Structure 1
Amino acid sequence: MKKRRIILSAFIVGLSSLLYMDFYVKNFKFSFAAVIFPLILYMYEEYNPIKFGILSGFSLVLFRSIFYNIFYGQFIETFIYSIPENIFYIVYGLSFYLFKKSSYLITHNKMFIIAALSDTLSNIVEIYIRVGKNIFTFDFQIIRILFLVGIIRAGLLWLMILGYKYYKLILVKEEHDRRYKNLIKLTSRLKTEIYWMEKNMIHIEKVMANAYELFSNIREDKNREDWSNVALEIAKDIHEIKKEYELVVMGIEDIMESRLDNTGMYYSELLDILKESLERDIIKQNKEIKIRYEMERDFYTEKHYYLMSILRNIITNAIDAIEDKGNINVCHLVKNSHHQFIVKDDGCGISGEDLPHIFLPGYSTKIDYSTGQVNRGLGLTIIENLLKVHFKGQIQVESEIGKGSTFKIFIPEKELEGIRE
C-alpha cells in the first residue's frame, strides 16, 4: 500500500512538471513540480526524501518524454535533455533529507527556508551539469535568478501548506464534533451503570462486615448456632451482587456496541491525541520531560481504542518513573510483518529482582507509603492481556536501576490493520 502511494505521488510530480517556463539556458525549465515535490514530502513525513527524489526525477523524465513525443515526435531527444532535471530532484531529496535529519520537527515556516535553499542548490547543480563553469559568471547573474526563483516557489509552497493545514483543521474539527456528540451520549448511559455499581458497593461492604464477623466468631468459637445462617446470608448477598453486576456488564457491553464510534483512525491522528493528553499529565506533575515520537509509516486501524490504552499507559508509567527531568522516546517501526512500538525512558528503572514479577496481577512498585494507596494505572498485566486477546501480540521489557526502561511491543500487521491474507 505504501509503495503504491509513493509511486502515485511520484507520478503526480511528473505530471505537474508539464507546467513549466523556459529559461534562457538551453533545455532548462522552471516547472511547477518543484512546488509539488516538497509539498508531498511535507504531507507524508514517512516518505524517504532520497528515494522519493529518484522516483520523482524518473517520473518527470518519463512524462516529459511522452508529452513531447505525442506533440513533436521527439521522445529520445527529450529523454536525453531531461536527464539533468532528474538530477535536480535527487539533489533536492538529499538536501531535504539532511535538513530533516538535523531538525526533527519541520514546521510550516521552516519548510519555506528548506524549500528555498534546496530549490536553489538543486538548480545550481542542474545548470552546472548543462553549461559547466559558465554558471559562475563575474556578476553571478544566473545564481541570483535561481535564488529568486527558489524564493518564489518556496512562497507558493508556503501558501499551499497554509491552505492544506486549514483544510485539515476543518476536517479534524468536524470529526471531533461528531466524536464529542457520541461521547456525550455514551457518558449519559454510563452514568446509569455507574449508579448501580455504586449502589452495589454498599452491599459489598455489608457482606465484608458479615464475613469478618463470621470469621471472628469461628476463630473464637462464639455463636456457633448462627454460623450456618450467617454463611447462608453471605452466600445470598453475594448471589444478588453477582446478578446486579451481570446486568451492569450487559448494559456496558450494549453501550459499547451501539454507541462507541467504531470507525477507524490513522496512527498519526492517534499520536496527536496522545501527545496532547500526555503533555497535560507532564504539566500537572510539574515535571520537565521531553517526549520524542518517531513513526516509520502511517497506517489505519479500527482497534485504535486498544492501541491508545496500551501506549498511553506504558508512556504514563515512563513519566511516573522520571523524578523531575528526563526524556522518553516513542518509536514505531515495521519489521518482519509486525508493527513494533518501542517506549524508552531514562527514569529510575526496575530492579532485576522486580523485573520477573511486573506482569503479575496486582503487582506494583508505585506505592504511596504515607497513604497506602497503590498507583497502578491500567496495569501491565492488563496491557499484556489486551495485546494477547485483541492483537495476538507480545510485550518485552529491558530495564536497569538508575538507567531507565525499554518496553517493546510487537503486533502483527494483519491484526492491527485488518489485512486479510
Structure 2
Amino acid sequence: MKNLKRMLFVSIVVALASQVSIGLVSSDFRVSAGIILYVIFLFYYEDLKPIPTGILSGIIVNLLRSILYYFTMGNFGHEILSFQIEILFYTFYAIIYYLLTNENNKKSINYIFLVMLISDFGANIIELLIRTIIGSSPFPWEITSTLFLVALVRSGITWLALNLFKYYKMLLIKEEHEERYKRLLWLTSQLKTEMYWMEKNMENIENVMSDSYRLFEMINTDEDKDSWGERSIGIARDIHEIKKENGLAIRGIKEITESELKDEKMSFKDIISILFETMKREIRRLNKNIELEIHMEENFYTSQHYYLMSIFRNLVMNSIDAIPDTQRDGKISIIHRIVDGEHAFMVSDNGSGIDEEGLEHIFSPGYSTKINYDTGEINRGLGLSIVKHIVEKQLEGSLKVSSTKGKGTTIYIYIPKHSLEVS
C-alpha cells in the first residue's frame, strides 16, 4: 500500500511536470519535462518499480492532458488519440531504463546519464514510428537529430540535478557528522571518568579476593578462630562498597548515554549501510575471504536503531567467526522481508555450523563454540544471549536458529512493525 501511494504520487508529479512541453513536427508530437522528474524519483526511491511507475505516469499524463484539452477546447476531438499514444513513450522509456539498470549500476549518476540518453531517444523514436504508422505518413527522419538533442538536453538536466542533490546531501551529512563527532568527543570524556571508577574498583575486588582466600586458608588450618567473624564482616562490607561504587558508575553511564544519544530515529537503509561498511572493514582486518550480501525489501524509519545495530553486529560477528580462515568461498547474507505485518530478518552464513547439542544451548549466557587453541582463550559467549534478550524482551519479537554441522547457520528474526517503525 505504501509503495502504491508513492507510485501514485510520483505519477501525478510527473504528469504535472509534463504540461511543460514543446511541439515537434506537428501539434500531435510533443516533448515534455515530466520524464526528468520520473528519473529523479527512480534514483532516490529505490523501492520504486520503473515499469509500473512509467505506465501509470503515462496514463495520468494522458488523463490530465485530455481534461485540460476538454476545458480549453470544449470537446475532445482527435487530440485524445495523440495523448493516448504518449502513454507508449513513458512505457517504452521505463522498459529500456529497467533493462539497462541493475543493483550494481543504478546508483552511478554517470551511468544513469547514458541510460537516460538511450531510453529517451529510443522511446521517442518508437512513439514517433507508431504515430507515422497510424497516420499512414512517412517517417520524419529529418527530426531524429532533434530528438537526440532533446534526449541529450533532458538527460543532461537530470544529470545536473542529481549531482546537485548529491553534493547538497553530502554537505548535510558532513555537517551532521561534525556535530556527532563533537557530541561523541564529549560523551567519551564523560565515559572515561566513569571508567576510572570502574578500574579503581578492580583494585578493591583484588583486595577482597585476597582477603577471602586468606580467610579460607585460616578456616582450613583452624587458625585464629576469633578473627573469622570480624574478617567475614570486613569482606562483606568491602563487597557492599564495591557494589555501591559499581552501581554509581553504571547509573552514570546510563545517564550519559540516555541524555547524549538523542538520535530519535534513523532509516533502516542507513543502519544497514553503516553495518555493511563496518563489517567489511572487520573482515579485511581479519584477512578472511568472505562475501557480505544485504538485501532490503523496504526502507523504514525506526527509533530502535541502537538495538538493531547491536543485533546485526553480534550476528554478523558470530558468522565471521564461524567461517574458517582457510575457507575461500565464505559468504554472509542479511535478507529483509515484510511478512504478515512483521519485519522478517534472515542472517545466514556458510561456515562451520552447529551440531544438535550446541543448538540446545546456543542462547545460554557463557556458552561458546569459539576457542582460540593457540592462546586457550574462550569467547565469552554473550552475543546470542544478548540478541535473544533484545529481540524478545525489548522488541516483542521472536527468533529461531537452523544449522547443519559443516554447512552453515541461519538465524531467523521476526519483529512486529509497531515495535520498530516510527513515522
The letter for the 2-side match of 1:338 is E
State the SS of the aligned residue for 1:205: helix
Which residue of structure 2 aligns with residue 408 of structure 1?
A: 412
For residue 26 of structure 1, report the CA deviation from its aligned partner: 5.9
Contact persistence 2:400–2:411 (CA under 8 A):
yes
Question: Structure 1, residues 242-286: CA drift from partner, whole Å, max 9, x if none?
Answer: 111121122122212322223211122222322222222122112
Q: Does residue 318 of structure 1 match 2:322?
A: no
Q: Which one is further off, 96-105 or 62-71?
A: 96-105
Q: Following the alignment from structure 1 to structure 2, what is the Cα–Cα distance between the partners of residues 403 and 173?
A: 43
User: Which residues of structure 1 form unaligned runs of 5+?
Assistant: none
Q: Following the alignment from structure 2 to structure 1, what is the Cα–Cα distance between the partners of residues 99 and 379?
A: 44
Which residue of structure 2 aligns with residue 188 of structure 1?
A: 189
Contact persistence 1:182–1:261 (CA under 8 A):
no
Say if 1:335 and 1:133 are closer, same or farther in 2 by CA, change over 3 A. same
Which residue of structure 2 aligns with residue 397 of structure 1?
A: 401
The alignment's TM-score, normalised by the length of structure 1, stands at 0.90
State the SS of the aligned residue for 2:262: coil
Q: Which one is further off, 410-419 or 182-191?
A: 410-419
Which residue of structure 1 aligns with residue 132 of structure 2?
A: 131
Q: Following the alignment from structure 1 to structure 2, what is the Cα–Cα distance between the partners of residues 239 and 72?
A: 90
Alignment of 1:98-247 (within 5 A): 98-101=99-102, 103=104, 106-132=107-133, 145-219=146-220, 222-247=223-248
Say if 1:89 and 1:405 are closer, same or farther in 2 by CA, change over 3 A. farther
Q: Which one is further off, 41-50 or 126-135?
A: 126-135
Say if 1:84 and 1:408 are closer, same or farther in 2 by CA, change over 3 A. farther
For residue 383 of structure 1, report the CA deviation from its aligned partner: 1.2
User: Which residues of structure 2 form unaligned runs of 5+?
Assistant: none
Alignment of 1:282-301 (within 5 A): 282-301=283-302
Q: Does residue 252 of structure 1 match 2:253?
A: yes
Question: Structure 1, residues 366-391: CA drift from partner, whole Å, max 9, x if none?
Answer: 22132232335861101111122321
Q: Does residue 16 of structure 1 match 2:17?
A: yes
Contact persistence 1:20–1:32 (CA under 8 A):
yes
Which residue of structure 1 aligns with residue 333 of structure 2?
A: 329
Contact persistence 1:100–1:106 (CA under 8 A):
no
The letter for the 2-side match of 1:415 is S
Contact persistence 1:135–1:142 (CA under 8 A):
no
Contact persistence 1:53–1:90 (CA under 8 A):
yes
**Identity over aligned residues, as a percent?**
42
Contact persistence 2:23–2:29 (CA under 8 A):
yes
Say if 1:23 and 1:164 are closer, same or farther in 2 by CA, change over 3 A. same
State the SS of the aligned residue for 2:15: helix
Q: Following the alignment from structure 2 to structure 1, what is the Cα–Cα distance between the partners of residues 19 and 187?
A: 52
Which residue of structure 1 aligns with residue 379 of structure 2?
A: 375
State the SS of the aligned residue for 1:350: coil
Contact persistence 2:105–2:111 (CA under 8 A):
no
Which residue of structure 2 aligns with residue 387 of structure 1?
A: 391
Which residue of structure 1 aligns with residue 92 of structure 2?
A: 91
Contact persistence 1:46–1:295 (CA under 8 A):
no
Q: Following the alignment from structure 1 to structure 2, what is the Cα–Cα distance between the partners of residues 284 and 135?
A: 68
Which residue of structure 2 aligns with residue 357 of structure 1?
A: 361
Alignment of 1:34-53 (within 5 A): 34-53=35-54
Q: Following the alignment from structure 1 to structure 2, what is the Cα–Cα distance between the partners of residues 51 and 217?
A: 83
Contact persistence 1:395–1:409 (CA under 8 A):
yes
Question: Structure 1, residues 282-335: CA drift from partner, whole Å, max 9, x if none?
Answer: 221122333222222221112211111111221222222233442222222222
State the SS of the aligned residue for 2:389: helix
Q: Following the alignment from structure 1 to structure 2, what is the Cα–Cα distance between the partners of residues 204 and 285?
A: 34
The alignment's TM-score, normalised by the length of structure 2, stands at 0.89
The letter for the 2-side match of 1:36 is L
Q: Following the alignment from structure 2 to structure 1, what is the Cα–Cα distance between the partners of residues 186 and 64?
A: 53
